[in-house]
Amino acid sequence: MNGLVADLTADLLWAPDVATAQLMFRRLCANAGIETFAYGRLLPDGSGPSYTDIVYPAEWTLHYFQHNYWEFDPVVLEARRTPLPFAWRFLTARPNLSEAQRRLFREAADFGIQDGVTIPFHSAAGRIRGMMSMAFESATQMQRVLAAQTDLRLLGVYYDAAIERLMEEKRTEDQASPLSAFECQCLTWAAAGRSLWDIAAALHRAVNEVEQTLRSAREKLGTATTAQTVARAIAQGLIVP
């Protein structure tokens, strides 16, 4: 963790684009011993995610979104309630958890997610606008990493600030783009080789909505296949693979 704060300030906070910020953040996480995390920002109206960066087991991520676990996940509910960072262990010990919530924690443990820490991000009006969760496979690993919890909180805060700045810059650029922000998101995931199911899970949307969105992007760019659409969008600078 030595030099982490300096690296964050010089590199991550002023990353030139989202892809670079993501790469820097993941490298810093790896240096800090964090292998599993999930970050997401909501749209300004709170209707859905505007950006997600998830490094959880793929099977667990798909299972989580297929079963709409975010609707009753105690971690998500707590992040909506408080702007303060919190450890999951205090949630699992609550006596008023429903059986569905207890089952969620048990199933997460089956995928190696035993404990974690979440940093909520709230607006000035007190509404949640995003959250960062860092997961650990054992209490020992969590305690070792959290020995530098001040730096870890800065890690989350700087990444959130970088993404907020870059997404705002992108929204300005998108005003002249033939594609919607969601179409660009779907194409970016498709460029990474993700399936319809993967994209739907990552963006918290239905599979048929993703399929319709990719079809709309094909029509706008005058292409016949998603692969051609991705290639044209990259060539025109509409997405960054």
Residue 203: which domain range? 181-235
Q: What is the pLDDT of residue 187?
A: 93
Asked if 91 and 136 sit in the same domain, the reply is yes
Note the pLDDT tens digit of each residue in 177-227.
Answer: 788 888 998 999 999 899 999 998 888 888 999 999 999 999 999 998 999
Whether the full predicted model's pTM is greater than 0.85, yes or no, is: no
Sign (positive or negative) of CA dihedral 4, 10, 13, 18: negative
Asked if 198 and 118 sit in the same domain, the reply is no
Asked if 134 and 207 sit in the same domain, the reply is no
Note the pLDDT tens digit of each residue in 56-108.
Answer: 999 999 999 999 999 999 999 999 999 999 999 999 989 999 999 999 999 99
Asked if 218 and 142 sit in the same domain, the reply is no
Query: Whose structure tokens read 């918290």?
Result: 204
Query: Whose structure tokens read 């692969």?
Result: 227
Q: Is residue 164 predicted with pLDDT exceeding 80?
A: yes
Asked if 56 and 134 sit in the same domain, the reply is yes
As to burial, measured by CB atoms within 10 angstroms (0-12 exposed, 13-18 middle, 19+ buried), residue 47 is: exposed
Asked if 29 and 122 sit in the same domain, the reply is yes
